[in-house]
Amino acid sequence: MGDTANHIQKLEKGNCLAGDTLVIDRDGELYTLEDLAVEDGRVIEVQAIDQHGRLIHAKAHSFRIGTWHNKLYQIRMSNGHVIEATADHPFLTSNGEWITAENLVFGHLLKSAMYDPKQKNPILTINEVSSVRVKELDEMIPMYDFTVESEENLFVAQEIDGKYSLLCVHNSAAPILEKKYTVS
């Protein structure tokens, strides 16, 4: 098939996540952003949050390389969830505002959820940032973006003790820093 990067749609946007970031669909299936980007045209239903702070299902599509970076922000949460993002990638805070990775610090509270594959229904929670570390790489690596219809966010996953910790992240489809979400 040749070089994977040549087969992935590229759209230069800066607010992106690492390729190994996991996305969980409404049926509990896990995918990496990189794998979804390779599958051109793939649409999946994901967990998202609406403006009233409720969990909803939304359609995610247009998974792609958004940019290439050699400087990543590694965000570690109090429950062990770790995610790598570009400096300007937004995360939803517990008070309903968006904050970029470069502005996150110890103690910030982020909108999260826990998903138990046996229960099938995520439960909204709050997760505290325990550290943010800038990770400098020797080479540029692809960072991934996506589009989510309606609410323009989704929950990314990491397995922790047989369950999945979910963090609410934004996509790059529209200006978002003015959009405030109700805290419930």
* pLDDT of 46 above 70: yes
Any idea which of 9-13, 56-60, 119-123 has the lowest mean pLDDT? 9-13
Residue range 66-88, pLDDT digits in tens: 999 999 999 999 999 999 999 99
* Residues 81-140 pLDDT 10s: 999 999 999 999 999 999 999 999 999 999 999 999 888 789 999 999 999 999 999 999
Which pLDDT does position 13 carry in this prediction?
A: 52
Instruction: Report all structural domains of the chain as residue ranges with CATH numbers, in order of start.
Output: 4-170 (2.170.16.10)
Residues 14-23 as b or e (16 or more Cβ within 10 Å = b): ebbbbbebbb
Cα dihedral value 35, 68, 105, 99, nearest 10: -80
